[in-house]
Amino acid sequence: MSSFSPDGYSLQGQQPPQQQQPNTPQGQFPFPSYQPELGTPQQQTDAFFNQDGKIPQGYGVPPTEAPGFDQGVPVADTVGMYSQVNITKWFSDAWIVYKQHWWVFILYYIAAVILFVAIDFIPKVSALFNMLLWVPISIGPQIAVLNKIRKNIDAEITYSHFLYGFLYFLPLLAIYFIKGVAIGIGLLLCIIPGLYIYIATAFAPLAFVEFHDQNVNIIRALTLSITIVNKHLIEVVVFFVCDFLLALSGFLLFGVGALITVPMASIAIVFAFHDLFGLNAQKNEHASCVIC
């Protein structure tokens, strides 16, 4: 008795015909369906932005448009298919975005500091409230930058984008709780495993935010982050060391410099995520996830 695969070809004997991949110019994808939202194939460029400081059209190919996705291939199997690593570019692009919207980032972080200081005056529960609020507040600017990348070339960042982290509050809290427990265990066993878990799962919150509507749940977001980071482990470790030093350097100037370096470090993580994971075709402007 013969066994048949879902496409109608026998699992023993007859094999489906092999499709020959077309020859394409250097820097373009060979799949016509693999297109960014704005409509042109992605080009390999030396920087995310062009010389005018604008986001070039065609950058940011959504993994949910990858070959086979429309045939039911899970997004988890297409995320990271075209990962690129360019640490210098991630930081240079972060600087350009910061310069474009520096006042928004400064006001946001000043407001966040004022809020945390005010909560410290609440007896007994201040530490808990600060921890809970840190989750959506820290990821808000990153979601705003992701939406800027996904929009048209001249898109602006507004305050409302910074609040989208609250739409994912409970699942993000669960991700950070799982990460915290795993990192704590790793640090107890030895410092190095704890540091590895911290870096390997660093992109899990953004992975969930981007792909939760493509059946990427909390656990899958964590495993996706680990899988893709492992493919570029040395480069990602170097990036996060540089990112940490960048954020820390701002506190050397009486803390004032942190209003520049901390947002830049956060934005750089977004560009690293973009190049390693890709972006969802759907925008996060009107996210429906509350508890997911």
Maximum CA extent, the chain: 78
Ranges of H-type helices in 101-232:
102-119, 126-150, 169-189, 191-200, 204-211, 218-231
pLDDT value, residue 234:
97
pLDDT digits (tens, 9 = 90+) for 39-62: 333 333 334 444 444 444 334 444
Residue 58 placed within a domain: no
Residue 46 placed within a domain: no
Burial of 151 (0-12, 13-18, 19+ CB in 10 A): middle
Residue 38 has pLDDT above 90, yes or no: no
Residue from 109, 91, 117 nearest 256 by CA: 109
Cβ(106)–Cβ(159) below 8 Å? no
Residue 9 placed within a domain: no
pLDDT digits (tens, 9 = 90+) for 233-289: 999 999 999 999 999 999 987 888 999 999 999 999 999 999 999 887 656 554 455
Residue 45 placed within a domain: no
Q: Which domain range does residue 273 map to?
A: 77-277
Residue 233 placed within a domain: yes
Per mean pLDDT, which range of 22-26, 40-44, 138-142 is the poorest? 40-44
Tell me how many domains the chain contains: 1
Residue 268 placed within a domain: yes
Residue 1 placed within a domain: no
Residue 178 placed within a domain: yes
Residue from 103, 99, 176 nearest 135 by CA: 176
pLDDT value, residue 157:
82
pLDDT digits (tens, 9 = 90+) for 65-106: 433 333 344 455 567 666 889 999 999 999 999 999 999 999
Mean pLDDT of the chain, nearest integer: 76
Task: Please give the share of the chain, as a percent, with pLDDT higher than 90.
Answer: 51
